[in-house]
Amino acid sequence: MTNENCYWHPDRYAGVTCQRCERRVCADCMHTASVGFHCPACISPQSIDSRRQRRSFVRSSNRILNVSEQSLITRTLIAINLLAFLATLFRGGSLSGSGGISQVRIPPDPFIYIVKWASKDIFTIDFGLIGYGRVLVSQESLNFVGVSEGEWWRMVTGGFLHAGFIHLAFNMFLLWMLGSQLERILGGTSYLILYFASLLSGALGVMLLDPLALTVGASGAVFGLMGATVIYQLRRGVSPWSNGIGTLLIINLIFTFARPNISVGGHLGGLLGGLLIGWLIDEINKKRVAGYLSFLVPLIITVALGFSCIWASEYWYDPILG
């Protein structure tokens, strides 16, 4: 324990100091005062009532999905990603990369052909995110695929597939690190809405920037969780640089632009979606909107993101092809 840790939670970093007793407090212990923050021991009775109402709100959110504070939803999401990866391997994929699938432009046709080199390797082709593409099944036969072709499930299923073990492991590590905390703070229902809103906003980014690319990975949703975490901390006076989340976000953004074959649209779209939905959920929670109404607006925005993906897959503009 160091003097930078929370007085009430010695295992947590404390970013602020109580204005009355000068004890250091973490994000869960600090209470907004007229000037600065107060710790649980110095807080006024009115603020204590507000804190109790907040906890009651989160507990009611968890009851809607019948979850506990054991990160059940985050564990379930990780399990689905793992099962999807194993299914990819079972269908002929590869631990080292794209599972035998390559994308090439074949002049003079401007669209991307998804070439199926192995007859068993069809899992990623069937469920990966792509706005418009063609599967070369033989020298004379092509199948049209993509969200624009009515395959709307790709907006979600693409977020549960991964191109390799390292890709999967990195995303699942961040999902556990960020998701388990946000699930406890926001409650089960709000957290699930945040996750899928981030996933769909990432898919929208792909549809806007590169709808012809076959894209897989939970990175859009993970970027959204990073954005929501930053928003949650900033709104409580905690600097994201004090606990590493700001550095983590910057490093991931650098990798997004510096490394090839990374979906810029998916990462930036997920980040922006997480910032928006994270702010909205936190604002609703602070106003203590009761019952199912508290989830209605974020859910409507999430559905709107899905419809926006469908629209963008059909009406995107290519700066070269027009």
Show the tokens assigned to 31: 């209470």
Q: What is the secondary structure of 191-205 as a DSSP string? A: HHHHHHHHHHHHHHH
Tell me which H or E stretch contains 16: strand 16-17
3-state secondary structure of 266: helix
Query: Which ranges of the chain does DSSP label H, i.e. alpha helix?
Result: 45-65, 72-90, 123-127, 154-157, 165-186, 188-209, 219-234, 245-258, 264-287, 293-315
**Is 162 known to be catalytic?**
no
CB-based contact 245:226 (threshold 8 Å): yes
Cα(136)–Cα(125) distance, integer angstroms: 11
Show the tokens assigned to 157: 């299923």
Show the tokens assigned to 194: 């945040």
Burial class, 232, CB count within 10 angstroms (exposed 0-12 / middle 13-18 / buried 19+): buried
Count CA within 13 A, CB hemisphere, residue 138. Answer: 2
**Is 31 known to be catalytic?**
no
- Catalytic residue, from 219, 263, 294, 313: name it: 219
Closest by CA position to 268, among listed 203, 177, 174: 203
**Contacts by residues 82-88 (CB-CB < 8 Å, ≥ 24 positions apart):** 82/168, 82/172, 84/157, 84/160, 84/161, 84/162, 85/161, 85/162, 85/165, 85/168, 87/123, 88/123, 88/124, 88/161, 88/162
Q: Which residues contact 269 (CB under 8 A, 6 or more apart)?
A: 201, 202, 203, 204, 205, 206, 208, 220
- Catalytic residue, from 38, 162, 167, 267: name it: 267
Active site residues: 219, 267
